[in-house]
Amino acid sequence: MSTESIIDRFVSTRERFLTICEPLEVEDYGLQAAEFASPPKWHLAHSSWFFETFLLKPFVVGYEPLEPLYEVLFNSYYNGIGDQHPRGQRGLLSRPSLDEVLAYRAHVDRAMVSLLKAADEHASEESIISRTVLGIEHERQHQELFFTDLKFSLSANPLYPSYVSAPAEQGQALEPLLWTGFEEGLVEIGHSGDGFCFDHELPRHRVFLESFELANRLVSNGEYQAFVDDGAYQRPELWLADGWAAVQENHWTGPLHWVDRDGEALEFTLMGLQPRQAATPVSHVSGYEADAYARWAGARLPREAEWEQVAASHVSDSLLSSVDSHHPRSAVGGDLQQLYGECWQWTQSAYSPYPGFAPSAGAIGEYNGKFMSNQWILRGGSCVTPPSQARPTYRNFFYPRDRWQFSGIRLAR
């Protein structure tokens, strides 16, 4: 890849973050309604911190940070770098102000472009390029978190503010759910080829799969409503033990962001409170809810290798996704669809290392490897995932109790 094209990609990714922030009020930038939901301002700063920490400080002689304390304030979880400002207190940083954070971004941008321009003559060129690409992908991940964290934090406000005003889709009819069968066999999964991937998508390796069937589309709000109406949240036999404990402890009665008010079935969206559409894919369910729904429906969640095996053979159709919707859209027709662009899809696979997995050396190796316990794999992509990240081998992971992502359900059996 040419230095020039890297610079282009860097600049456009960085600019996109400012673009998606435009609808915000200044007061929204500091909002953090839960430990996991970082404020917009923090995302803007942390994604700059990543470039500063892993590129500018090691590769630019005499690089001067704007403010030494930012190393601590905007470190997410890299113990190899040093202390971190407590995660739950990111919303308490009224300073640096938004203007100061934007100045920090500009400072990092200038230094990065200089570094990249000089990279050709630089002995560490390969490291610089590969780390820049990683930083770009990292920033894209935070652009997705920007949306889901913001949605969560706005939902804590009884005024239900909207991020944008365009209405969500309405009145679509639900397409019938169809099953496609796949034969048993020894398959290969994991990334191959020259394109970018994260370390945990490697190495490509063999897995034996029994024959299985996969649903052609995601489970809809209406179908999930039937599960709720069948008393699912009062029936322990449908749930994993830890899932049932989560239901009790958190008093769950339906997906996050469902709002029932005065007899109306509503859903909080990035467009504010909207009527809940029956055909729209259900979203913001935990892994436990996805698992219980599948059990109730006489099915199960797919294994990650099953999902990848199917996705790898359907690349052309399924990558037609877009970030403009800000909300999942209904299925159309009976083809296999909604692999990307609507909701992440919970799998039954625990997040664990592929055989032979080796994380990168140093602090940057903390990116993925250290999270390989207690989390579950989600596959695909959502309505707020940058389209460039949609690929069959992408491994997303969250705790099965987590619900603030656009996480939905695709059944297998």
Residue placing its CB nearer to its own copies in the complex, 125 or 366: 366
Q: Are 53 and 78 in contact (CB under 8 A)?
A: yes
Residue placing its CB nearer to its own copies in the complex, 94 or 388: 94
Contact set for its own copies, span 365-394 (CB under 8 A): 366, 370-374
Residue placing its CB nearer to its own copies in the complex, 110 or 370: 370
Among 92, 103, 166, 315, binds its own copies (CB under 8 A): 92
Length of the chain: 413
Tell me, by CB under 8 A, how many residues bind its own copies.
64
Q: Locate 327 and state its tokens.
A: 């909300």
> What is the x/- site pattern for its own copies, positions 61-80, by CB under 8 A?
------x-x--xx---x-xx
Burial class (CB in 10 A: 0-12, 13-18, 19+), 71: middle
Distance CA 308, CA 28 (A): 38
Per rule CB under 8 A, is residue 98 in the interface with its own copies? Answer: yes
> What is the x/- site pattern for its own copies, positions 1-30, by CB under 8 A?
------------------------xxxxxx
Residue 22 has φ and ψ, to the nearest 5°, of -55, -40
> What is the x/- site pattern for its own copies, positions 34-53, by CB under 8 A?
-------x------------
Per rule CB under 8 A, is residue 173 in the interface with its own copies? Answer: no
Residue placing its CB nearer to its own copies in the complex, 150 or 311: 150
Among 242, 260, 264, 317, binds its own copies (CB under 8 A): 242
Residue 182 has φ and ψ, to the nearest 5°, of -135, 140
Asked if omega into 96 is within 30° of 0 (cis), the reply is yes
42 to each of 200, 255, 264, 286, 338, how far by Cα in Å? 26, 27, 36, 25, 31
Residue placing its CB nearer to its own copies in the complex, 58 or 82: 82
Distance CA 363, CA 197 (A): 18
Asked if omega into 203 is within 30° of 0 (cis), the reply is yes
Beta-strand pair 344-350/407-408:
parallel
Per rule CB under 8 A, is residue 93 in the interface with its own copies? Answer: yes
Among 62, 95, 195, 298, binds its own copies (CB under 8 A): 95
Per rule CB under 8 A, is residue 356 in the interface with its own copies? Answer: yes
Piece of the chain touching its own copies by CB under 8 A; list 173-181, 216-224, 337-345, 350-358: 350-358
Among 4, 35, 210, 230, binds its own copies (CB under 8 A): 210
Per rule CB under 8 A, is residue 348 in the interface with its own copies? Answer: yes
Strand stretches in 156-225, DSSP E: 179-182, 185-189, 205-209, 212-215
Residue 135 has φ and ψ, to the nearest 5°, of -60, -35
117: β partners: none
SS3 of the chain: helix, strand, coil, percent, to 5? 40, 15, 45
Among 206, 250, 315, 332, binds its own copies (CB under 8 A): 206
Q: What is the four-CA torsion angle of 247, 342, 339, 389, rounded to 10 degrees?
A: -110
Contact positions vs its own copies (CB under 8 A) = 25-31, 33, 41, 67, 69, 72-73, 77, 79-80, 85, 89, 91-98, 153-154, 156-159, 161, 186, 205-208, 210, 236-237, 239-244, 287-288, 291, 348-350, 352-353, 355-356, 366, 370-374, 400
